[in-house]
Amino acid sequence: MEGGYVRIAVTTIALNEQKHVRRWAESAADADLLMIADTGSTDGTVAEAMVSDVLVHEISVKPWRFDTARNVGLALLPSDIDIVITLDMDEVLTPGWREGLESAPTADQYMYDYVWNWTEDGEPNIRFNGNRCHRRFGYMWKHPVHETLVRVDGTEPLAVHAGFGIHHHADDSKPRAQYLPLLEQAVKESPEDDRIAHYYARELFFAGDWDRARSEFVRHLGLSRATWPAERAQSYRYLARMDDYPERWLLKAVAEDPSRREAWVDLVKFYSSHGLQREAAGVAARALSIGGRKFDYMTEAAAWDDEYVTSLVGDS
């Protein structure tokens, strides 16, 4: 970055996150300011944060929505902050993060290596470029849940990749119950938003409401803005999981995005489980011929493990 010393704030919203506070604060210790907008914790989060030299603002957001809470937190930051990193309480910055950020070219928004989850062996599984690092002013959060950063003026930011990472360590004790109604609200507000439509369909799938999930995945695929092949292929993969005869959906998935292994590997599993070993072997060979794993939230480590893919052919 150019222009002298840069003041960096690491911030988040929190509710009953006491067990994560110290790890979170220690990973971000090189920031100029650590700030939490606490939304009503009753477990000692606030006290633990203060012990860790974190500035805490206690806020109340009713009716609850993530974008409103994050926008309140953003507004509470001092005006002399230059760069903001939104780091959720179950995430940590990797060592050397500040040096990596400071060595990046000057930009409006900074991308980084984000690891969402891990394999049983402790290796990164879903991994992609995160984007929750940006200039202090000119941004706001949008959508009640699965909120995203947007420019206030509607323009596209100048974004560059900075040399740092954020690792997510999921807290499986957190309930997902609030996600579905918030996504329903998000769809009402932005019915043409393909990303929100896909997330809503996926949440219906997780909730076991397969009839509505099918309808919403089909609606997603029919949206004019639903042009990202990876996400379209993923909708077809979910449709396959809800069908006794998934082959047709999986063939559509590989047709949408033949450059990724994930749907091909699903096909290998299907053919192998039905005793169609010749078909399974042919599709496995096609999957193994694909290199260059793309790092976004649609990728899965197992599909890129050659030994694992080969082993699927022999299953019956």
CATH of the domain at 122: 3.90.550.10
**Mean of all residue pLDDT scores within the chain:** 95
Q: Quick one: CA dihedral 210, 211, 217, 220, positive or negative?
A: negative
Instruction: Give the distance from CA 95 to its chain's centroid.
Output: 21
Residue 88 lies in a domain: yes
Domain boundary among 168, 194, 229: 168
pLDDT in tens, 159-170: 999 999 999 998
Residue 149 sits in the same domain as residue 13: yes
Rounded distance, CA 270 to CA 312, Å? 10
Residues 192, 146, single domain; the answer is no
Mean pLDDT to the nearest integer, 92-99:
97
Would you state the pLDDT for residue 316? Answer: 46
Residues 84, 144, single domain; the answer is: yes
Same domain, 70 and 109: yes
Are 205 and 238 spatial neighbours (Cβ–Cβ below 8 Å)?
A: yes
Distance of alpha carbon 86 from the chain centroid: 13
User: How far apart, in Å, are the Cα atoms of 104 and each of 31, 168, 178, 215, 291?
Assistant: 16, 23, 37, 44, 29
Q: Which residues contact 294 (CB under 8 A, 6 or more apart)?
A: 230, 259, 260
Q: Name the 3-class secondary structure at 199.
A: helix
- Range with the poorest average pLDDT among 62-76, 165-179, 234-248, 257-271: 165-179
Q: Is residue 2 part of a domain?
A: no
Element (H, E) at 148: strand 148-151
Containing domain of residue 200, as a range? Answer: 179-312
Domain assignment present for 261: yes
Residue at which a domain ends, from 144, 168, 192? 168
Q: What is the mean pLDDT of residues 195-206?
A: 98
pLDDT for 201 beyond 70: yes
Condensed to tens digits (0 to 9), the pLDDT of residues 104-149 reads 999 999 999 999 999 888 888 999 999 999 999 999 999 999 999 9
pLDDT tens-digit map of 273-315: 999 999 999 999 999 999 989 888 888 999 999 999 999 997 4
